[in-house]
């Protein structure tokens, strides 16, 4: 009989992680999770508060064969912190998890990062399964070993790398995402096309016409673009840093908005800021800048002026100064490291053959930010 799901193998250096995906296949995926975990005595199901319906169905299937201990987390940037990780660890121990147990993360990137870090710390490493339910998580965050949480100065400043045992996604879970969040969450796919896979633009544009019907294609774009880079650079400290494109200004916007501007949307703004910096200082051609606006406009973002105007400029400067790429390459005080393009699909090389990160004065980023903030997308 034909399997109700397909399977990809994601390589992270020497580690190979199975990624199972399909549509309307939750019972089969839950059975596969148990089969792949083998000898497991309990599961801590860390679930996103916003996906209780999907999580109940998964928990019921898992509970046929193993003790399931659910713990709900509010998926908000202000809770993506070490105290929440601590709460998960205390809960795991209080509920009797052992070294034979596993942590299953069900939700978006926020819950994936929280549970991922908790799994890495519990008993110095417990098996981790990701069940992603957002486009950011399913098509991007799980194609990464990074498990980071926020500190008071900025995003993802504490964390580790951790290899999951398995990723499994019923694409039907994503169907409950509000249309706007589904679309803006696809900014990471736009990023993949701009930075690494311009040949995938027609496929992405087709998928963005009716994203709910094109989730498989979107998953393939995410994996196809990023997988070769994380295979060669599993810690994303060298060549795979190109996927930080749009994340310097993007993280600052996301952090300063307190998460009101969600990750995908923030990355979209961040890419427009990066394109503006590159246009002014690295000769990015007008056609290439236009390609950014053309693709970002398909994400149905609200007008830039209304979204970005309310954000405190000093707070954005401070968040840029605390960016978590500091130290990857030379960067003077008052500068920040950015991934920049000199044309679509080609990054500006970093200094002295180092990682593809360019030091940029924070004031130059702020100038570009003001330009993006002033230009409502409709006017482009
Ligand atoms: N390499 C990495 O680890 C990596 C990569 C990309 C993003 N991230 C992180 O991921 C986070 C953003 O993740 P996200 O965009 O998935 O958002 P999220 O996890 O913050 O979730 C956003 C909202 O969507 C809700 N939600 C989740 N699934 C849903 C569903 N199926 N139906 C309806 N609502 C649903 C959540 O409850 C929440 O309210 C950021 O913190 C970012 O830093 C990490």
Q: How far is the CA of 267 from the centre of ligand 1 (A)?
A: 13
- The two structure tokens encoding residue 142: 């799980």
Q: What is the average pLDDT across 327-356?
A: 94
Q: Of the candidates 223, 217, 225, which has an alpha carbon nearest to the alpha carbon of residue 23? A: 217
Q: Is the CB of 84 under 6 A from ligand 1?
A: no
Helix pair 201-209, 286-297: axis angle to 10 deg: 30
DSSP H or E segment with residue 174: none
Hey, which CATH number is domain 179-379, 1.20.1090.10, 3.30.70.890, 2.40.50.1020, 3.40.50.300? 1.20.1090.10
| 146 a catalytic residue | yes
The segment(s) of the chain belonging to CATH 3.40.50.1970 are 6-176
Q: What is the pLDDT of residue 350?
A: 92
Mean pLDDT, range 134-149, rounded to an integer: 97
**244 has catalytic annotation:** yes
3-state secondary structure of 240: helix
For residue 141 and ligand 1, the question of a CB distance below 6 A is answered with: yes
| DSSP E strand stretches across 278-365 | 335-338, 341-343, 346-347, 358-361
**Rounded Cα gap, residues 310 and 169, in angstroms:** 37
Nearest CA to ligand 1 atom 19: 108
Q: How far apart are CA 350 and CA 303, in angstroms?
A: 33
Q: Rounded CA gap, 209 and 84, in Å?
A: 38
Q: Where in the chain is the domain with CATH 1.20.1090.10?
A: 179-379
Say what the pLDDT of residue 325 is.
95
Sign of the dihedral through C-alpha 269, 271, 277, 283 = negative
Q: What is the pLDDT of residue 377?
A: 47
Atom of ligand 1 minimally distant from the CA of 147: 3
- pLDDT tens, residue by residue, 262-318: 999 999 999 999 999 999 999 999 999 999 999 999 998 876 667 788 899 999 999
Which stretches does DSSP call E strand in the chain?
Answer: 6-12, 15-22, 42-48, 67-73, 102-107, 127-132, 146-151, 154-161, 166-170, 335-338, 341-343, 346-347, 358-361
Residues 227-271 pLDDT 10s? 999 999 999 999 999 999 999 999 999 999 999 999 999 999 999
pLDDT of 375 > 70? The answer is yes
Task: Quote the tokens at residue 228.
Answer: 């070769």
Q: What is the DSSP letter of 105?
A: E
Closest ligand 1 atom to residue 188 Cα is 6
pLDDT at 379 over 50: no
CATH class of the region 6-176: alpha beta
CB 143, CB 84: distance < 8 Å: no
Confidence of residue 376 (pLDDT cuts 50, 70, 90): low
CA dihedral 176, 178, 179, 181 (to 10 degrees): -120
pLDDT of residue 304: 65
User: Would you say 163 and 145 are in contact if contact means Cβ atoms under 8 Å apart?
Assistant: yes
Overall average pLDDT of the 113-134 stretch: 98
| Alpha helices for the chain (secondary structure H) | 26-37, 52-62, 82-94, 109-121, 135-136, 179-184, 187-195, 201-209, 215-232, 247-256, 263-281, 286-297, 304-308, 313-321, 362-374
288 burial level (CB within 10 Å; 0-12, 13-18, 19+): buried
Torsion angle of alpha carbons 188, 192, 195, 197, nearest 10°? -160
Q: Determine which one of 61, 69, 146, 155 is catalytic.
A: 146
Starting at the edge strand that comes first in sequence, how are the strands of the sheet with 15-22 ordered?
6-12, 15-22, 166-170, 127-132, 102-107, 42-48, 67-73
């Amino acid at each position: 009989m034909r399997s109700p799901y397909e399977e990809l193998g994601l390589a992270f250096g020497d580690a190979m992680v199975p990624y199972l995906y399909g549509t309307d296949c939750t019972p089969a995926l839950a059975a596969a999770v148990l089969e792949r975990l083998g000898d497991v005595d309990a599961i801590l199901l860390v679930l996103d508060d916003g996906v209780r319906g999907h999580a109940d169905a998964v928990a019921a299937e898992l509970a046929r064969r193993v003790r399931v201990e659910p713990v709900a987390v509010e998926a908000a940037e202000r809770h993506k912190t070490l105290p929440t990780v601590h709460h998960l660890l205390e809960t795991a121990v209080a509920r009797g998890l052992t070294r034979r147990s596993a942590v299953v993360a069900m939700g978006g990137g926020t819950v994936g990062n929280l549970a991922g870090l908790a799994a890495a710390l519990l008993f110095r490493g417990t098996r981790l399964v990701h069940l992603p339910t957002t486009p950011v998580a399913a098509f991007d965050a799980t194609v990464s070993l990074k498990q980071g949480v926020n500190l008071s100065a900025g995003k993802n400043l504490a964390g580790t790398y951790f290899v999951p045992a398995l990723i499994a996604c019923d694409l039907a879970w994503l169907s409950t995402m509000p249309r706007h969040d589904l679309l803006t969450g696809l900014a990471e796919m736009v990023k993949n096309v701009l930075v690494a896979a311009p040949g995938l633009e027609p496929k992405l544009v087709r998928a963005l016409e009716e994203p709910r019907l094109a989730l498989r294609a979107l998953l393939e774009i995410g994996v196809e673009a990023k997988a070769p880079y994380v295979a060669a650079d599993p810690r994303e400290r060298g060549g795979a840093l190109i996927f930080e494109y749009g994340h310097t200004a993007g993280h600052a916007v996301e952090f300063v908005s307190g998460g009101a501007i969600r990750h995908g949307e923030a990355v979209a703004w961040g890419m427009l800021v990066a394109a503006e910096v590159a246009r002014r200082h690295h000769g990015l051609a007008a056609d290439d800048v236009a390609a950014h606006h053309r693709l970002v406009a398909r994400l149905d973002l609200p007008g830039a002026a209304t979204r970005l105007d309310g954000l405190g400029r000093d707070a954005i400067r401070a968040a840029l100064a605390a960016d978590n790429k500091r130290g990857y390459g030379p960067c003077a005080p008052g500068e920040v490291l950015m991934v920049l393009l000199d044309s679509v699909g080609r990054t500006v090389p970093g200094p002295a053959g180092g990682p593809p990160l360019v030091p940029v004065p924070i004031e130059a980023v702020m100038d570009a930010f003001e330009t993006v903030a002033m230009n409502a997308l409709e006017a482009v």
